[in-house]
Amino acid sequence: MSTLEAHPVSAGEKPLAAPRRLRWPRLTLAEAFSFLFLLLLIAGAIFADRIPGLVRPNFPYGDFSRPPEWSINGLFGTDGLGRSIFSRILHGARATLTIVGIATLISLGFGLLLGMLAGYYRGIIERFVDLFANTVAALPPILVILALLTATGPSVTTMTLALGFLEIGTYARIAKGGVISQYDRDYILAARALGASDARILLREILPNLMPTLAALVPPLMAGLIITEGSLSFLGYGIAPPAPSWGGMIADSTDLLSRFPLLIFGPILTIVCTVFALNTVGDYLSRRIDRREKQL
């Protein structure tokens, strides 16, 4: 094509200095440890069965209620039945992370869908989504799930679905706000002028702009789910014993708390560290948004 020839740039404009990637802010020490901890926890949960020397979570491998010692199985001691607490924590992590992960995917998926439609089309859809989000936000999650599980019987599937359902409104609101704030931007107008369909505008123009916000919000919300799930298991409504769960282990060790206080140490520490790490990662990601907004 003859038209595609170079057109000179005058001295008034500088060419792109050096294409550089979007920068990630420097990790603080706490953030580095948080990332490391989460990676180790996820790896431990995935490969819990394959760690050499680690006993099965339900295998009574030693004396009961032994204090922590320097061996892989005895790292956090043994529980009232002589089972390795460390092994049970890793297997419990597998259950917890699966439940929380699936619940988050459910709420994220439906929340984004509803929120984006509400923000883009407004009108009746928006009012429905607002009503839904406000109503669900008013419900205490633990009580609702307790009632549900009492009615239908303890079930991990039911609990996961309910946890996911109760967070849909939160994500929907975030997505809705994001879409509304972008609706009038020129690049959306430009995309429409280029003949892009609504679906394309939502998915390819607006969604990428929502991603950093969501990335910063998902970890703290997941931390909240971990606490809710732990509470339910603690109350005996989540993961049923003898399957290992963090909340269940805390419940077991409270019976022996006066004689063997160290038993509660492992599961509590794990929950605290996980929640702390998720919140720290969330803070780091929101710091990244602030930074990027300054760059733009």
Enumerate binding residues for another protein (CB under 8 A).
1-10, 12-16, 19-20, 22, 185-187, 189-197, 200, 204-205, 208-209, 211-212, 295-296
C-alpha distances out from residue 214 to 25, 73, 175, 209, 231, Å? 18, 38, 8, 9, 25
Residue closer to another protein by CB (options 59, 187) is 187
Q: How far is the CB of 144 from another protein (least distance, A)?
A: 36
Q: How far is the CB of 192 from another protein (least distance, A)?
A: 5
Length of the chain: 296
Q: How far is the CB of 184 from another protein (least distance, A)?
A: 9
Q: What does 223-265 look like in DSSP terms, one character per residue? A: HHHHHHHHHHHHTTSSSPTTS--HHHHHHHHHHTTTT-GGGGH
Question: Are 25 and 291 in contact, with CB atoms under 8 Å apart?
Answer: yes
Question: Are 163 and 144 in contact, with CB atoms under 8 Å apart?
Answer: no
Amino acid at 255: D
Q: How far is the CB of 125 from another protein (least distance, A)?
A: 15
Structure-token pair, residue 290? 């602030």
Residue closer to another protein by CB (options 97, 118) is 118
Q: How far is the CB of 132 from another protein (least distance, A)?
A: 25
User: Dihedral through CA 94, CA 96, CA 97, CA 101, nearest 10?
Assistant: 140
Q: How far is the CB of 185 from another protein (least distance, A)?
A: 6
Residue closer to another protein by CB (options 63, 186) is 186
Residue closer to another protein by CB (options 142, 191) is 191
Residue closer to another protein by CB (options 45, 214) is 214
Residue closer to another protein by CB (options 127, 185) is 185
Amino acid at 26: R
Q: How far is the CB of 127 from another protein (least distance, A)?
A: 18
- In 3-state terms, what secondary structure has residue 59? coil
Residue closer to another protein by CB (options 50, 294) is 294
d(C-alpha 186, C-alpha 41), whole Å:
44
Evaluate the CA torsion angle 113, 117, 120, 125 in order and state its sign. Answer: negative
